Amino acid sequence: MTNENGFKYIEQGEGEILFLLHGLFGALSNFTQVIDFFSKSYKVVFPFLPLYELPLTSSTVSGMVKYVEDFVEYKNYKNLNILGNSLGGHIAQVYALNNLENVNSLILTGSSGLFENSLGDGYPKKEDKDYIRRKTELTFFDPKNATDELVDEVFETVNNRAKAIRVVTMAKSAVRHNLKKELHKLNIPIKLIWGQNDTITPPFVAEEFLKLLPKASLEFINNCGHAAMMERPNTFNVMLMDFLTSLYKEND
């Protein structure tokens, strides 16, 4: 991890940029297999979003977009291919709406921005670790993906008052910041890769994105929940590689 000028990030590989944005409870571990796979042929960039570090007034979708804009400007990155999961997909869309000239494509998986089931419903039994485990398991088709380490991370977050307040503030901001009326402006190639069994942003959300985005295509992954790049990484990586390869073939 590099830590410079107030930004923490991972940058691996050389070539066109694949820029990764994690979700509300996301972490580097969510994208490990994407980074390993794509850093052989792309420059893969993973910024650690300061979800728990900014002032409360900046703990919003717009606050995160401003952070991403500042980071991209600092690094002078151009022609981004942005992959966003959950809240990260929401941030990716707003960044693209604000900076369309600097975005080559978007890849959205389990993205918020239109509808989500449980970003903002809180954790009423947050001291009950079994309850936190059950909530974490809802992210996946196979509950075994909710490892002890992942459950511990969520448990620590929701029981840390400063973090928990920011989670709720961010979630409410995401619900308020609905993008339905703006998506027609995203006239760039967009790939939707969605878990067929996603219960947080169910399949109908992907189908609604497909209708609203002018140049989108959609593929579902069976037996897969909200974090496709974690739960079905091999299938996800092949779909993503096919999409990116087709983009650059068109540009040759």
Q: Please report the pLDDT score of residue 33 as a whole number.
A: 95
Nearest in space to 63 (alpha carbons), one of 201, 156, 182, 174: 174
Q: Give the pair of three-digit tokens for residue 195.
A: 């878990």
Contact 193, 209 (CB under 8 A): no
DSSP 3-state of 233 = helix
Please give the helix or strand (H or E) that residue 21 lies within, else none. Answer: strand 17-21
Q: What is the pTM of this model?
A: 0.92
Alpha-carbon gap, residue 206 to 196, rounded angstroms: 10
Q: What's the CATH number for 2-251? A: 3.40.50.1820
Q: Please report the pLDDT score of residue 36 as a whole number.
A: 96
Q: Please report the pLDDT score of residue 108 as a whole number.
A: 98
Contact 15, 38 (CB under 8 A): no
Residue with tokens 């959300």: 205
Nearest in space to 78 (alpha carbons), one of 9, 21, 17, 2: 17
Domain edges within the chain: 2-251
Mean pLDDT (10-residue bins), the chain, 252 residues = 92 97 83 96 96 87 94 97 96 97 97 73 69 87 90 87 85 87 96 96 96 97 96 97 90 60
Q: Give the pair of three-digit tokens for residue 28.
A: 């580097």
